[in-house]
Amino acid sequence: MKKIKKGAVVFIGAANPETIRMIGAIQRSQPDFSVAGFLDNDLEKKNTDFFGYPVFGGMECVSELVKREVVFVNLITGNLHARYAISLEIARAGGVFTNFIHPNVDLTMTTVGLGNYIQESTIIQAGVSIGNNSSIHMATLIGHESAIGNSVFIAHGVSVSGCCYIGDGTFIGTNSTILPRISIGKWATIGAGTVVTKDVPDYSVVVGNPGRVIKVNEQLFFDGEILSEQR
């Protein structure tokens, strides 16, 4: 690897060109925002570049990058189990996480952890808390005083009403609606377009309008925390 600037960002997953546009937007507002490159377990991408940024290789590169004092952001969203497992592996190797948040997102009067990826035009209202290693995509609304857990994925166009709780590892599909004061358990799956009108148990899969439980996910993980071993 060539010389890498201390504090530069390494992204996990060289796939979505929107990442590059977000980098540009952040650099226009924060000129010192530095990107080292990408990691990707696809062997065909190793030692190539992604829109001008190097793809170092896969997870075998983490230890060397940790020594160079970079920071990490996980962009994986298609498989939340993989997202969590990879972020946990980086954390156990001593990796430090940072947030990747579009500069037009207002975070005033909110609490946000580390390793979060939040796309543009997301509205996060006052009193919201977001854990670590979560991903929230464009044009989503998170209503006031809601709590989003760790390793959560919220797809674009989702509406989470006020005073809701979203448990660790939950997947919420495109254009879903969560009514006020609803609690969604850990590692639940909410299908695209679902309207959630009542609390959702842990590991449940919910679809439809009104949402109904159709099956239960395999219980692979207890929670979605990645930083507990670094405390």
Q: Tens digit of pLDDT for each residue in 146-180? A: 999 999 999 999 999 999 999 999 999 999 999 99
CA distance linking residue 33 with residue 223, whole number of Å: 31
Per-residue pLDDT at 229: 52
Cα distance between residue 139 and residue 117, in whole Å: 14
**231, pLDDT greater than 50:** no
pLDDT, tens digit, for every residue of 73-116? Answer: 999 998 999 999 999 999 999 999 999 999 999 999 999 999 99
User: What residues pair up with 53 in beta bridges, in sequence order?
Assistant: 50
Point out the residues that are catalytic: 144
**Distance between CA 140 and CA 123 in Å, rounded?**
6
Homologous superfamily (CATH) of 101-231 is Hexapeptide repeat proteins (2.160.10.10)
Res 78: pLDDT: 85
Across residues 225-230, what is the average pLDDT?
A: 74
At residue 1 the predicted structure's pLDDT band, cuts being 50, 70 and 90, is low
| pLDDT average, residue stretch 183-211 | 98
Q: Is the peptide bond before 31 cis (omega within 30 degrees of 0)?
A: no
DSSP letter assigned to residue 119: -
Please report, for residues 1, 72, 95, 209, the alpha-carbon distance to residue 173 in angstroms, rounded to integers and kept in the order given: 38, 25, 29, 13
